[in-house]
């Protein structure tokens, strides 16, 4: 999939729809069975870069409005939601957001650059 040609979504529903509509059947099968680390550093990186999740893109601002500020968390939610959608499971966005908010509460970096 060429991420440079993808339109920038305005929210999670659009992001999942764009990806799902552009995926080949073989890509869907692979996505449903791939290890999360491979997703994070492969397709996750492509999503973060193409959709401006490290910056002030409309999609990043949508996530910010939900309390999600880190681009890694944004791409993880997008990919988990896509996997759930393709696997006919509920996306359960509230639970996904809660997971990351709780993680940051427990692992809040100390000082500048987390040190």
pTM: 0.86
Confidence (pLDDT) at 103: 92
Q: CB 114: neighbour CB atoms within 10 A?
A: 8
- Listed by start position, the domains of the chain span 8-108
Nearest to 70 by CA among 86, 48, 50: 48
Confidence (pLDDT) at 34: 78
Confidence (pLDDT) at 111: 54
* SS3 state at 37: helix
Q: How far apart are CA 45 and CA 22, in angstroms?
A: 17
Confidence (pLDDT) at 79: 92
As to burial, measured by CB atoms within 10 angstroms (0-12 exposed, 13-18 middle, 19+ buried), residue 107 is: exposed
Residues whose CB falls within 8 Å of the CB of residue 26, separated by 6 or more in sequence, listed in order:
none
**pLDDT tens digit at each of 115 positions of the chain:** 777 788 999 999 999 999 999 888 888 778 777 776 666 667 889 999 999 999 999 999 999 999 999 999 999 999 999 999 999 999 999 999 999 999 998 887 665 544 4
């Amino acid at each position: 999939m060429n991420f440079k040609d993808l339109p920038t979504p305005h929210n999670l529903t659009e992001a999942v729809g764009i990806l799902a509509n552009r995926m080949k059947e073989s890509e869907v099968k692979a996505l449903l069975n791939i290890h999360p680390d491979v997703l994070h550093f492969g397709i996750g990186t492509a999503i973060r870069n193409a959709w401006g999740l490290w910056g002030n893109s409309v999609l990043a601002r949508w996530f910010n409005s939900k309390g999600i500020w880190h681009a890694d968390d944004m791409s993880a939610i997008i990919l988990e939601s896509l996997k759930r959608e393709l696997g006919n499971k509920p996306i359960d966005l509230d639970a996904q957001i809660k997971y990351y908010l709780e993680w940051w509460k427990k692992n809040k970096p100390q000082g500048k650059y987390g040190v």
